[in-house]
Homo-oligomer: A and B are copies of this chain.
Amino acid sequence: MKVFILGSGAIGSFYGGKLQLAGAETALLCRSDYRTIKKQGVWVKSITGNFHFKPKMVLKSPHELPWKPDYILVCLKVLPEIDISAIIRPVVSEDTAICLIQNGIDIEPPIANAFPNNELISGLAFICCQRIKSGMVEHFDYGKLVLGNYPKGVSNKTRKLAKFFGKSGVVCDVTDNVIKARWQKLVWNAPFNPISVLAGGVTTEEMLSDKQMEETIRAVMGEVCALAEADGHPLPENVVEENISFTRVMTPYKTSMLLDYENKRPMEVEAILGNAVRKAKQMGIDVPHINTLYSLLSMLNKKNTC
């Protein structure tokens, strides 16, 4: 199994490394970390066991890839300035399945439109991990993957990939409704990621220790549920309650968005909030809480990275 991995951040290093451990032949596309990773690979400090990811190939450009990959694992952040289709076009062949391990809602259409004849696997990572420095990643908690074909179904190729992840110790579920799975993940991401930044750099625990903030969090979650339902994917009735109580018992941590903000990196504002706001407009659903977060975070994001 030949896998081309886009991105040497925490997600690409962790899951790419796991595939390599399971016996895949991997090529890792790097940007700023190229020199370090070419020389030493990536050290992954993980609660499930440290490991060393030494990809078969470390590339600076997709054009250097000597084979056509069976899978492309897209582990880049979803940002307007990153044109994933343009990056992978040189290496996509007829049989290549494109697998997105990315956050957000409604992030698949640009890739689906650019490669209408390729299998598109949409994946969600439930993990706390962080790039500590060039060539070093730390995995703090969780780690489950959920994969499904976009817009629906589970192909053999998807099952095969899930099995490979399983072999390396990653819990990897498949779902025949990945759009619903994305809505379900957004129930958590839409409130906690933006608020952790906007409220001044707060942990999940701090957010839930404030009664008024908890109300706001529940209201944002309720809006996501309304959107999912209007989109034809009603979520379980207890999804808000479950997300709140689950987060209460979690080890308090900084969200990925907060880590990005603190490191002056662009945040995934469009993938997490902007796409939801646009979907809401299309469907005529009122999402005032999400709208407010979106306006504030968009502006803060520009300020933070300019």
Interface, chain A (partner B; CB < 8 A): 195, 198-202, 206-207, 210, 212-213, 215-216, 219, 277, 288-289, 291-296, 298-300, 302-304
Contacts and interface: CB of A to CB of B under 8 A. Distances in A.
Give the number of copies in the complex: 2
B202 A295 contact: no
A23 B91 CA distance: 84
A213 B295 CA distance: 5
A212 B290 CA distance: 12
Contact of A202 (B195, B293, B299): B299
Nearest to A201: B303
Contact of A292 (B292, B300, B303): B292
B213 A299 contact: yes
A300 B198 contact: yes
A210 B295 contact: yes
A216 B292 contact: yes
Q: A212, A293, A294, A302: which has the most chain B beta carbons within 10 Å?
A: A212
Contacts of A219: 288, 291-292
Contacts of A302: 200
A291 B289 contact: yes
Contacts of A288: 219, 288-289, 292
Contacts of A202: 299, 303
A265 B298 CA distance: 26
A103 to B, nearest CB: 20
A291 to B, nearest CB: 6
A293 B207 CA distance: 14
B292 A199 contact: no
Nearest to A220: B292
Nearest to A194: B296
Contact of A212 (B200, B210, B215, B294): B294
30 contacts: A195-B295, A195-B296, A198-B198, A198-B296, A198-B300, A199-B295, A199-B296, A199-B300, A199-B303, A200-B304, A201-B303, A202-B299, A206-B299, A207-B299, A210-B298, A212-B277, A212-B295, A213-B299, A215-B295, A216-B291, A216-B292, A216-B296, A219-B288, A219-B291, A219-B292, A288-B288, A288-B289, A289-B289, A292-B292, A296-B296
A302 B212 CA distance: 14
Given A210-B298, A296-B296, A299-B210, A291 B198 contact: no
A203 to B, nearest CB: 11
Contacts of A215: 291, 295
Q: A213, A277, A296: which has the most chain B beta carbons within 10 Å?
A: A296
A200 B299 contact: yes
A219 to B, nearest CB: 7
B294 A292 contact: no
